[in-house]
Chains A and B, each alone.
Chain A
């Protein structure tokens, strides 16, 4: 039952719940959708980075940023924001970095949720 606190928590559950009116089951549903979306966008991003398609990088980054913000996933949002910026500034190196932090933060979220928060 204890909420893990602190900046390092991959999800600010309290904030997310407050936003959706305290509906736990609904939050679970949204996280499942997020999961599907994340995979889809991550694949797109990998491809876009390979092809140096900065427009696609910016758009997918923007998309993930919004979705992450909605569910109060601050670290993922930060990584997605960096991705969007990388697309905008046409910075391939930054895009690669952002991609790996997206991957890392995603894993961290998965573990956090699995460990029964």
Chain B
């Protein structure tokens, strides 16, 4: 006990601009403990949210910005372990680190608390140095968790995008297509599908080289995207073919979008090198969903057939076919 401890953040309420450690929830019905915790936590740089009963605590816990919570074991409304359990059952996207506070001589079951989903527990009266150390652990765990989620997102993004153009890849677009089809079945919301192919792409490659061809393709994706709504999906179907999914667009809207794209491409100058830029045209095959029996495959085939016809009719144009017309060879 003779060890001289350095006082922890003994600054009074003066709010100096300390490093911000983010929001923290303190759920505690004992006002002495609450005031003590609030004072110290805000001194360390936390933005403290107070809850005095279980319901209030739950209200805060659900919020995504709350990543650390100190929950009293015994509280009116809802007890700590119940809150832990409820939170773990919920689908909160960000991990929340939960520390249960218990009294030294309450007969409670630590295992029960941890099994309910708490990450840690502390006994009251709370030693503030110990609390601070445990909060550091909390931050470490949260960082690990966040990095893991980031890595997961990155991987799933890599697995669904085309590395050259950063458009969606074939696999991804079929996923979106399936979603739109089931939505059409549920809500009857229409959608359009466009298949786009650069006219005489081979000549561009032969004449200017493949890097130039790649670059034209990339510029086309950018141009197409800038003329769509942000919920439309652009995917690279293969080679120089793009496939566009236009949620909510009926036949007429799909046609309008297609003609707009044809026009924009005609007007655009695609840069090949610092000095050379070229003009290109595209051909577009389009289709829209018409029946809940339409299948992703059939729709893509219809758009593909429409594209083939557009090419045959002289390129730089759009042809529209229904998926149902596939049988009328």
Binding site for B on A (CB under 8 A): 14, 18-23, 25-26, 29-30, 33-34, 36-37, 59, 62-63, 65-67, 69-72, 81
Binding site for A on B (CB under 8 A): 1, 5, 7-10, 12, 29-33, 35-36, 39-40, 74, 76, 103-106, 124-128
Q: List chain A residues, Cβ under 8 A from B125.
A: 19, 66, 69-72
Across the interface, B128 reaches (CB within 8 A) one of A20, A25, A30, A62, namely: A20
In Å, the complex CA distance between A29 and B128 comes to 17
Contact B32 A30 (CB under 8 A): yes
Show 5 residue pairs from A and B whose CB-CB distance is below 8 angstroms, ordered by the A residue: A22-B7, A62-B103, A67-B33, A69-B125, A70-B36
4 tightest A-B CB contacts, nearest first: A21-B7, A21-B8, A22-B7, A67-B32
Question: Given A37-B30, A66-B33, 5 more contacts at CB 8 Å?
Answer: A30-B36, A65-B105, A66-B103, A66-B124, A67-B33
Contact B31 A37 (CB under 8 A): yes
Given A21-B9, A29-B35, answer yes or no on A67-B105 (Cβ-Cβ < 8 Å). no
Interface of B is mostly: loop
Contact B40 A62 (CB under 8 A): no
Q: List chain B residues, Cβ under 8 A from A65.
A: 103, 105
Q: List chain A residues, Cβ under 8 A from B33.
A: 66-67, 70
Q: List chain B residues, Cβ under 8 A from A71.
A: 32, 125
In Å, the complex CA distance between A18 and B103 comes to 19
Q: List chain A residues, Cβ under 8 A from B127.
A: 19
Contact B124 A70 (CB under 8 A): yes
Given A63-B29, A66-B33, A70-B125, answer yes or no on A81-B12 (Cβ-Cβ < 8 Å). no
Given A66-B124, A69-B104, answer yes or no on A20-B36 (Cβ-Cβ < 8 Å). yes
Contact B32 A62 (CB under 8 A): no
Q: List chain B residues, Cβ under 8 A from A20.
A: 36, 40, 128
Contact B103 A69 (CB under 8 A): yes
Across the interface, B32 reaches (CB within 8 A) one of A23, A25, A33, A81, namely: A33
Contact B32 A19 (CB under 8 A): no
Contact A18 B30 (CB under 8 A): no
Q: List chain A residues, Cβ under 8 A from B10.
A: 21-23
Contact B36 A18 (CB under 8 A): no
Q: List chain A residues, Cβ under 8 A from B35.
A: 29-30, 33
Contact B39 A18 (CB under 8 A): no
Q: List chain B residues, Cβ under 8 A from A63.
A: 29-30
In Å, the complex CA distance between A33 and B9 comes to 21
Q: List chain A residues, Cβ under 8 A from B76.
A: 59
> In this complex, what residue of A is CB-closest to B6?
A21
Q: List chain A residues, Cβ under 8 A from B7.
A: 21-23
In Å, the complex CA distance between A9 and B167 comes to 74
> In this complex, what residue of A is CB-closest to B131?
A19
Q: List chain B residues, Cβ under 8 A from A34.
A: 32
Across the interface, B12 reaches (CB within 8 A) one of A25, A66, A67, A70, namely: A25
Contact A18 B5 (CB under 8 A): yes
